[in-house]
Amino acid sequence: MRQRAARDQKRLDSGAVSSPKDLENLQREIASLAKRQGDLEDVVLEVMERRESAQERVAELTERVGSVQGKIDDATARRDAAVEEIDGEVASVTKEREVIAGSVPDALLGLYDKLRAQQGGIGAAKLYARSCQGCRQELAITELNEIRSAAPDTVVRCENCRRILVRTSESGL
């Protein structure tokens, strides 16, 4: 467009065009080309501004992605450390359970394992202040009297949840 406008201007300035009608048409074409060139330059400027804005936004989002990725990496590292710690505790507790289970009679251990499977992992509960800590129900007076009169090595169970009750000095008997 610039070349065409320069060529037309050169023709106009050279005096090669002698017809007034051709001169007028040439001047209109030069003006039209200048207007179109101005419009196109405005469009180019607008596109450049939008591009600059988009590049700034990309830089901002890239920075945010980096920040979020850092937080994700930190959380992943903490999660992995916690899983490792939990796995260590599971191994330790499993060993302790094996040692303790060796000293418990097979019939009682079988009952405990059966109740544990039925009760969501808890087969025995502490009797605390006349309440079963498995189902959180306070035991009736008759049940407490039966437990009180039972021998210390007798296996007693909660009438509500059927878990084995572990008697302690805090049982309220």
The per-residue pLDDT for range 104-135, each reduced to its tens digit, is 888 888 998 899 898 888 889 999 888 999 89
Task: List Cβ neighbours of 150 (8 Å cut-off, separation of 6 or more).
Answer: 156
Ordered by start, the domain boundaries in the chain are 2-73, 104-167
The per-residue pLDDT for range 51-60, each reduced to its tens digit, is 999 999 999 9
Task: List Cβ neighbours of 114 (8 Å cut-off, separation of 6 or more).
Answer: 123
Question: How far is residue 119's CA from residue 156's CA, in Å, rounded to a whole number?
Answer: 16
Whole-model pTM above 0.85? no
Q: Which of 12-21, 80-89, 92-101 has the lowest mean pLDDT?
A: 12-21
Whether residue 1 is predicted with pLDDT greater than 80 in this model: the reply is no
In degrees, rounded to 5, the angle at the alpha carbon of residue 160 between the alpha carbons of residues 158 and 164 is 25
Task: List Cβ neighbours of 34 (8 Å cut-off, separation of 6 or more).
Answer: 5
